[in-house]
Amino acid sequence: MASAKQILGLGRDAEKIFSAIWEKHGFYAPDRGFTPSIQSMFYGRPENQKAAEGLTVKGIRGLIEKHVTSTTVTDAVPVAFDPEILDIVRKDAPLLARLPQVGYKGYTVRTNLISARAAPRGWVSEADSLDLSGVSNEFTLGETDYDMKIYADAVNVGDFAERGAEGGYLPVRETALGQRVAAYSQYKEQAILYGDHTKALTDGSPGDAAVFDGMSVHAATAGNAVDKAAVNLAASDALLKDIKAEVKDLLQNANVFKGDLEIWTSHTLFDELENELQVRAILDQNVNSANYGFEVIYISGIPVIASHNVAEHTYDTGSAAGGPYTIGSEGDVFIVNKRASYYASLAPLFTLPLGRIGLAEHFALGEYGTYVDRSQGAFGKWLYDYAI
């Protein structure tokens, strides 16, 4: 039986795959370097959005018309670059949509760690300045490798839905493919937060042996996973103050730049923050409407972003694949450093035809990439289990 890697054509030359997917669509990277993020190429760039409009539907139609059946990733349609697909990700997985998604030419990501600098030589006498041959306190960066991981799924694309999407009267989101992308987005966001390969499940979940390690694992490894279950939240602003104190601790002791940080929470915890800020209704007399609540909250100038995937998750509940694995809480808070964290892939989400079944075409969905933290958890925090 063919493996997922063989079916998706991922055993081939990495440079050819990178060229066929990333470079073909305007993304370039230096040797051992990364492309610009997908978000930076499309968000706020209407000319690029226009050029990629309908990429998924047109690409699938082209594969079917050409009778392409080879399972070669160079024939794939990179749906990750389609504005409609990006919109699905943004709505279903808002945290994932904010994590930089970049391309990398290789099967293993080798990246520099953001490590401590050696102390400078400092001020010296004129005599000592004449000979600096023994001074070697250069800025050093250690290296680490991240093996890319395979995501695989399958979907049947029916003739009616496909033609409806191509004609513009049926959004891609409402097709079977759109629904599978929505499921992918939420599962991937959960893995970014809570993925842990050491749980060694065999169900394809964020606890599977084949998954990448997520933010919670990196934070724990760096000693930045903080149990908040016993924090007293009786005071009217206790939660705000406690999160703010953790932010200040990170700024003081890790010397991170505030502009690189975001705070990720659940909608439940976001609501608690709203209540602590003493929400007032805002009345717009011009349109006879009132708004009660906040669209955006900042703590020490850092935006707070909410998602339903910050929650308790249980994988393999029936214990059929080595589980169950339970992780997460609506009381979790992630302080994320976007300079250190991103998702790198040789092949971002793509689709390939596997053959016709009745009135539908059977397509594979695949991705080959991994979550990367260049600080290995040192420049962020996981504050878990606030009793909200």
Q: Domain boundaries in the chain?
A: 4-115+142-384
pLDDT-based confidence at residue 284 (cuts at 50, 70, 90): low
Q: Which residue has the higher pLDDT, 350 or 285?
A: 350
Q: Which residue has the higher pLDDT, 171 or 256?
A: 256
Most confidently modeled of 335-339, 351-355, 357-361? 335-339
- The span from the CA of 68 to the CA of 77, in Å, is 12
CATH 3.90.320 assigned to domain 4-115+142-384? The reply is no
Q: Which residue has the higher pLDDT, 275 or 318?
A: 275
Q: 208 has which bridge partners?
A: 201
List, for residues 24-45, the tens digit of each pLDDT value.
999 998 866 899 999 999 888 8
Whether 258 contacts 303, CB under 8 Å: no
- The span from the CA of 152 to the CA of 8, in Å, is 8
pLDDT at position 45: 87
pLDDT-based confidence at residue 48 (cuts at 50, 70, 90): confident
Residues of the chain with pLDDT > 70, as a percent, come to 85
pLDDT-based confidence at residue 292 (cuts at 50, 70, 90): confident
Lowest-pLDDT range of 110-119, 207-216, 296-305:
110-119
Judging by DSSP bridges, how do beta strands 225-227 and 149-158 pair with one another? unpaired
List, for residues 153-207, the tens digit of each pLDDT value.
998 877 544 554 555 545 788 888 899 999 999 999 999 999 999 999 999 999 9
Q: Is pLDDT at 71 greater than 60 in this prediction? A: no
Residues of the chain with pLDDT > 90, as a percent, come to 59
pLDDT at position 169: 46
Q: Per-residue b/e over 313-337, b at no fewer than 16 CB within 10 Å? A: bebbeeeebbbbbebbbbbbbbbbb
Packed helices 176-194 and 83-92: angle between N→C axes, nearest 10 degrees:
50
Mean of pLDDT over the chain = 87
Q: Which residue has the higher pLDDT, 89 or 124?
A: 89
pLDDT at position 174: 81
Q: Is 106 exposed, middle or buried (0-12, 13-18, 19+ CB in 10 A)?
A: middle
303 preceded by cis ω (within 30°)? no
pLDDT-based confidence at residue 355 (cuts at 50, 70, 90): confident
